[in-house]
Amino acid sequence: MFLRSTLRKKNGKAHRYWSIVENKRVARGRIVQRHVLYLGEISGSQQEAWQKTIEIFEDGQPRPKTVALLPEAEWHPEEVRAATAAGGMEVVRIRLAALELRRPRQWGACWLACQLYEQLELDTFFAARLPPSRKGTRWDLVLQVLAVYRLLAPGSEWRLHRAWFERSALADLLGADFGLAEIHKLYACHARVLAHKTALFSHLQKRWRDLFNARFDVLLYDLTSTYFECDPPESENAKRRHGYSRDKRPDCVQVVIALVVTPEGFPLAYEVLPGNTSDKTTLRGFLQKIEAQYGKADRIWIMDRGIPTEEVLAEMRASDPPVHYLVGTPKGLLTKLEAALIEQPWAQVREGIEVKLLPQDGELYVFAQSRDRIEKERAMRRRKLRKLLARLAQLQQMSLRRDELLLKIGAAKAAAGRAFALVDLQLPAAREAVTPQSFTFRLNRPKLRVARRREGRYLLRSNLCEQPPARLWELYIQLTQIEEAFKNLKGDLAIRPIYHQREDRIEAHIFLSFLAYCLHVTLTRRLRDLAPGLSARAVLEKFAAVQMIDVHLPTTDGRQVVFTRYTQPEDELKLLLRRLKLELPEQAPPRITATGQLAP
């Protein structure tokens, strides 16, 4: 790398601009130059142009003093003395040949995350609730570091302390130092945040309403689980428990997370429950929690089957005002109502979607079918069933003991999923040899016909009897938003597995993941309006390409000028900045010290 200057004339004056350029060898031996860093105007050909004033911070000096910079080789000593006398300031001569680039660190994604944090006004929210300690620890900034880390590069607090913080530019952006990433402070911050969870929910609701005119009259409710890489707890009151694992890790203890989001993905509240909590026991408590925090309102709750019970649904209908709901139903209820539904005509609500309506006992049952979904589910079932039958035919021809056969059938059952129920097996008796005669299988055609009739069809129930069927269908398919929220929490934000042992740190870990998800969904919502088609993760990766570097320029008197500069964005990132209506901040002013260390 080397310095390159460009001379430009503006208004009759010559200006010299400096950049750091890198030579790169490409095909056919050619060398091209890549613009790495823009330093701006350091000096020029006229006295007014080259007098670039900066501040000097030296040990023992209470105030900075003003100096002028110029390259060592470009000026005669007589010119330096004349310039010093004319400008009334000290002239510092820099040795451009000894330029050094130090401490490259990730700046762009950190800056964007901080912008999202400020847009939600989380900085002022936590500054008022997490005051500095007596020793000056800024707990609000420690929390911001943890939230940004969880958004950009989720991992353990030890990894944040040991490696990630020094590789990021968060210290520069927050005007702090490595003290924010001291390991004991990271853990101590966990104990301070949970008390503000309820207030945070109300604050976020207000911010999203102000920023995006978000509405909270339709709420999606669902549950998920996240597991631990640790031994089961000894205490019977601990939330880490074995239970139904949605992560397919029944061998691990887990906690259950109940989440309420809007159709746009904005989370309204969450709760951490014991890992053995049954889904159907959670709804009543969450209805009371939302009503106590946000008051009674005309809300519509959308849930999947298995969450509400008949008793809770009756309470929702009987409340004043009634609590509206739209839920899926278990397959047993479809069997019970199938005869009555057959008599109803199909009505098309939109292309490819047809429904049947069945009013009954103050509720409306909506039997919906989607042609696209029918084709998809039918293709999935055929593929699995074809693979299962081929595998069973292979097992018939193998020389196996009965126990070995049962193990292999178990593996085939796990791979086939629901398609396994469509096949009837005849297994050899105990101690009987496995032969094509003792082990047989056949397709259960009555079950297959029932499965075909139900593929791509859903039975919904609601007390929104006056709503048109198309509206009810559109509301129900919005449940995919809460599935997307769980996908982001478990994928991009790596909420699982959890390694913490203490209950407060477990809940704080989930709280930080929730904060990071709030930043993620805010960026996603902004992209939907300004840059549709881009995902939040793709945008963060593009911003991560912008690095921050310390440029050290030695002076002839033994000191060093330090320019802290972020690299110039590529053209595609400049376009993205314009689309998002964001402007990068001004480059930081240079500093000069006797030791070569960046002054605070």
Strand partners, 421: none
Question: Helix (H, G, I), strand (E, B), or coil: what is residue 469?
Answer: helix
* DSSP string for residues in 144-203: HHHHHHHHHS---HHHIIIIIHHHBSHHHHHT--GGGG-HHHHHHHHHHHGGGHHHHHHH
Mean pLDDT of 243-271: 88
Contacts of 76 (CB under 8 A, 6+ apart): none
| Tens-digit pLDDT profile for residues 338-363 | 888 888 888 888 888 888 888 888 88
- Residue 401 CA neighbour count, 13 Å, CB half: 3
Element (H, E) at 8: strand 2-10
pLDDT band, very low/low/confident/very high, at 480 (cuts 50, 70, 90): confident
* Phi, psi (rounded to 5 degrees) for 19: -140, 155
pLDDT at 3: 64
The residue that leads in pLDDT, 62 or 121, is 121
Question: Helix (H, G, I), strand (E, B), or coil: what is residue 242?
Answer: coil
| Tens-digit pLDDT profile for residues 25-61 | 655 566 756 656 666 665 443 233 333 444 444 434 4
pLDDT band, very low/low/confident/very high, at 85 (cuts 50, 70, 90): low
Lowest mean pLDDT among 359-363, 423-427, 542-546, 596-600: 596-600
Helix axes 536-543, 108-119, angle to 10 degrees: 130
Mean pLDDT of 64-84: 53
Contacts of 396 (CB under 8 A, 6+ apart): 436, 439, 440, 441
Mean pLDDT of 316-324: 86
pLDDT at 519: 95
Using CA atoms in the order 583, 584, 586, 590, what is the torsion angle rounded to 10 degrees? 180
Asked if pLDDT for residue 96 goes beyond 50, the answer is: yes
Domain spans in the chain, listed from the N-terminal domain onward: 2-104+548-593, 332-463
| Tens-digit pLDDT profile for residues 132-180 | 998 888 999 999 999 999 999 988 888 898 889 999 999 999 998 888 9
Q: Which residue has the tokens 């911003």?
A: 543
Q: What percent of the chain has pLDDT over 70?
A: 86
Q: Which two tokens stand for residue 591?
A: 């500093």
**Rounded Cα distance, 418 and 457, in Å:** 16
Asked if pLDDT for residue 544 goes beyond 90, the answer is: yes
CB 257 within 8 A of CB 286: no
Mean pLDDT of 439-466: 89
Side chain identity, residue 486: F
CB 306 within 8 A of CB 280: yes
Q: 321 preceded by cis ω (within 30°)?
A: yes
**Rounded Cα distance, 113 and 492, in Å:** 14
Asked if pLDDT for residue 117 goes beyond 90, the answer is: yes
Characterize the bridge pairing of strands 363-370 and 324-328. Answer: unpaired
Q: What percent of the chain has pLDDT over 90?
A: 34
The residue that leads in pLDDT, 204 or 552, is 204
On average, the pLDDT of the chain sits at 83
- Give the other-Cβ count within 10 Å of 551's Cβ: 19
Mean pLDDT of 486-497: 75
pLDDT at 411: 94
pLDDT at 52: 40
